[in-house]
Homo-oligomer: A and B are copies of this chain.
Amino acid sequence: MIASTPTPPYYAVIFSSIKSDQTQGYDEMAEAMAQMVMQQPGYLGHESARDGIGITVSYWDSLESIKKWKAVSEHLEAQIKGRSTWYQSYKTRICKVEREYAFEKMDESK
């Protein structure tokens, strides 16, 4: 689903990753983090897709909320395991969303 985000400005974290061939425990971690991130203060939504490269974008009300989520202990553990095991490489980009345009097709069946 495309995340329903508020009128800008707000913040985005773009996490782009290439997995290693050591995938044991990855899916469980990814699911646990997806559940956990939704409970964080300041979380606005997230979107995720993978085919070869994985791109996960999470949206936040402030840089402070992003910093707090980065420091949540289970998330810190996932980051450490990510570097030691699951990821070949990744890049995290912290962004300020300045403008947003949306399109939604009318439901022509109604």
Interface residues of A (CB under 8 A from B): 1-3, 5, 8, 12, 14, 16-18, 20, 47-55, 57, 82-83, 87-105
Contact B57 A53 (CB under 8 A): no
Distance to closest chain B CB from A71 (angstroms): 14
- A53's partner among B2, B89, B104 (CB-CB below 8 A) is B2
Contact B89 A104 (CB under 8 A): yes
Distance to closest chain B CB from A35 (angstroms): 18
Q: Which residues does chain B contribute within 8 Å of A53, judged by CB atoms?
A: 1-2, 47-49
Distance between Cα atoms of A47 and B53 in the complex (Å): 8
- A49's partner among B20, B52, B83 (CB-CB below 8 A) is B52
Contact B105 A87 (CB under 8 A): yes
Q: Which residues does chain B contribute within 8 Å of A51, judged by CB atoms?
A: 49-51
Distance to closest chain B CB from A41 (angstroms): 20
Contact B87 A57 (CB under 8 A): no
Distance between Cα atoms of A55 and B17 in the complex (Å): 13
